[in-house]
Amino acid sequence: MRIEFPGGGGGGGTFVDTWYTAVQAGTAFFAGHRQGATAGQFSHVQLLNPAASGVVIRVYYAAGGLNAAGRYRVNAYDTALATLVRNGVNCLSSGAAGIGELRTVDNAAALGAIIAEIQTGVDNTTPCGGMWPFTLAAGEGILFTSPAANIGVAAQFWWLEA
């Protein structure tokens, strides 16, 4: 996984043009989910590029939030979480669904290796870095999790597949 964090893509004015071109080509996707609080459990929402996908996922924008004040965690985690919420929704209305998967799980411990913690308000979403913060090769994932048990987490991801 390549991480350009927290400064983002570091690339002049081209990232907007890249995104617009991907939307028109049907290779731009989005997905989001709010995983509610569960007693004694950490909530997780993951964007996963499946192992045999044959594509690279370049995350254009990511944001997360909690149902309590605090910091959500951004963790690297390459194992598919238990529940598939959906594949990416194509930003081109007639386009096919994406290969990237939005997945969730509640677990007794936080999963993954911490990359960062992002301060957020109650029921707000706060961006994770700048534009193009992550690149996921086949078999890699990124997840947002709560900093403690009994806290719900929300995540939204906008990405392209190439």
pLDDT in the model for residue 40: 97
70-76 and 89-90: which strand pairing? unpaired
Report d(CA 90, CA 132) in Å as an integer: 18
Residues 159, 19: Cα–Cα separation, whole Å: 9
Token pair belonging to 113? 């290796």
Tokens of 4: 């350009």
ω into 6 cis (within 30 of 0): yes
Percentage of the chain lying above the pLDDT 70 cut: 90
Q: Considering only the top CATH level, what class is 2-161?
A: mainly beta
pTM of this structure: 0.90
Lowest mean pLDDT among 53-62, 66-75, 91-100, 118-127: 118-127
Q: What is the pLDDT of residues 34-43, one digit of tens each?
A: 999 999 999 9
Closest CA to 87 of 13, 5, 157, 7: 157
Any alpha helices (H) in 13-59, and if so which ranges?
A: 14-25
Instruction: State residue 16 phi and psi, 5-degree precision.
Output: -70, -45
How is residue 154 written in tokens?
């929300």
| Cα 118 from Cα 160, distance rounded (Å) | 23
Query: Which pLDDT does position 123 carry in this prediction?
Result: 87
- Say which residues have a Cβ less than 8 Å from residue 58's Cβ, sequence separation at least 6: 132, 134, 135, 136, 159, 160, 161, 162
